Structure 1
Amino acid sequence: MRALVKYTSITNASDGKFFLASSHRAREEAILKTGIPYSFLRNNWYVENEIGGIQGAIAGAPWVTSAGTGKVGWVLRQDLAEAAANVLIGHGHENTIYELSGKPMIQVELVAALGDVLGEEILVQQVDDATYTDIMRGAGMPEAYLPMLVNTQKGIRDGGLEIQSND
């Protein structure tokens, strides 16, 4: 039995502009250079990354975003774990790339679905990056995390997590 490197990457790592793509692209390229069979699992944004916003909405706060109309293919970690397990135990996954994503949607659509689950309307507050930073700081987000949060919003706004895939 031959080895298979399974690497968990990010959506559109090979040519994406999302701020996390370049480091994943470098890792994918390093794996390719080894000549070892590989399978790249390019995960879109985890729904679980939105827990803070979801908890805020449950408590009655608005959903704050500077992502504009950028789309994300949110996906549950559990679904990604199942996909990874299938690659690890299955056959025929040598030298493959899977773009693992949910249906791309804008923040307003995600929040509407959340509102349906909660049985109430949730206000979406679209702001610029500076205001977003101030709001996150005011909510107690550690200063060290603020650049990552803003880069995520910018990356979404710029289409970095918008990918259509049936993988």
Structure 2
Amino acid sequence: MIVVTGANGQLGQLVIKELLQRIPAAHIVAAVRNPDAADELIKQGVQVRHADYDQPETLTAAFAGADKVLLISSNAVGQRVAQHQAVIQAAEQTGIKLLAYTSILHCDQSPMQLADEHKATEALLNASSVDSVLLRNGWYSENYTMNIPAVLKMQTLYGCAAEGRFASASRQDYATAAATVLTSENQAGKIYELAGDSSFDLSEFAAQLSQQSGKQVSYQNLSEPDFTQGLLKAGLPEGFASILANAESGAAEGWLFDDSKALQALIGRPTTTIADTIKAALA
């Protein structure tokens, strides 16, 4: 039996969908903070169990009888290490045989602030008695396409990535990779550096968006402090704005690029291009 944490989230829902194509629904557990919001999963025959990263007792109950767990990293920046530690401890207590974790690209070397909590989590996994596999996911293409309406309105894409290249892939690509690993044998100890087959810089993203939308969009590169201030004015929380701006500076230094094509090899097809993700977003 396979447990997917955060199963009501965007990535979690896609992983569940992929697993349903591979194994019986009764062998899948959707671990969610709010079971009342998981009606669609229940209709598909998936077991839905309450699991809150901040309530460890719910985790041991959610993992009971399972063999594998996918720990989808929490979105509570600043609280993730303690939350992830609770999941790892619950996995130890319930005899989980394999714990897969969605980390970040080149986590062990990355200087980005975004990598700090992932590094700490990977260290906890290394010290744990539970076998683990690391899915070091690169940038999600949706990180940019989700902001297309605002970008088109301003006709400007702001950032601080300079000419740094993003080897991004779609959320669906990463979900397929996770499901593949969870339903494959001999995964313990493996580390996957996952990124898109092709890459783009933000000027190229703006050009592609202009071409597809018929509206002229330009990229304006800012300093990291100025971009942080822009994100704050847009309503992002201070800590999150700082981390996003720092990630773009990291991209300028190459930390969100990878050309190993490990993701393509894992999912058995080319990864989704940024052009296709833009097209889907515009549609």
Distance 1:135 1:36, change over 3 A: closer
**Structure 1 CA distance, aligned partners of 2:117 and 2:232?**
27
Q: Letter of the 2:155 partner, please give it.
A: A
Contact 2:160 2:222 in 1 (8 A): yes
Residues 1:14 and 2:108 aligned together: yes
Q: 2:205 maps to what in 1?
A: 110
Cα deviation for residue 91 of structure 1 reads 1.9
**Structure 2 CA distance, aligned partners of 1:143 and 1:3?**
39
Q: Letter of the 1:91 partner, please give it.
A: E
1:77-135, Cα deviation, whole Å (9 max, x unpaired)? 11111110111112232221111111232111222222232234311111222332343
- Gaps in structure 1 of 5+ consecutive residues: none
In the alignment, which of 169, 173, 179 is matched to residue 79 of structure 1?
Answer: 173
Residues 1:65 and 2:159 aligned together: yes
**Structure 1 CA distance, aligned partners of 2:223 and 2:187?**
42
TM-score normalised to the size of structure 1?
A: 0.85
| Bigger CA radius of gyration | 2
Cα deviation for residue 60 of structure 1 reads 4.4
Q: Letter of the 2:138 partner, please give it.
A: N
Contact 1:18 1:161 in 2 (8 A): no
Cα deviation for residue 18 of structure 1 reads 1.8
Contact 2:140 2:169 in 1 (8 A): yes
Cα deviation for residue 31 of structure 1 reads 1.3
**Structure 1 CA distance, aligned partners of 2:206 and 2:127?**
42
1:35-74, Cα deviation, whole Å (9 max, x unpaired)? 5332110001112222453222332420011111112221
Identity of aligned residues (%): 30
- Gaps in structure 2 of 5+ consecutive residues: 1-66, 68-95, 263-283
In the alignment, which of 112, 136, 153 is matched to residue 231 of structure 2?
Answer: 136
> What secondary structure, in the 3-state scheme, does the structure 1 residue paired with 2:147 have?
helix
Q: Letter of the 2:253 partner, please give it.
A: D
Cα deviation for residue 141 of structure 1 reads 3.5
Q: 2:7 maps to what in 1?
A: none
**Structure 1 CA distance, aligned partners of 2:123 and 2:229?**
38
Q: 2:276 maps to what in 1?
A: none
Q: 1:161 maps to what in 2?
A: 256
Equivalent pairs counted in the alignment come to: 167
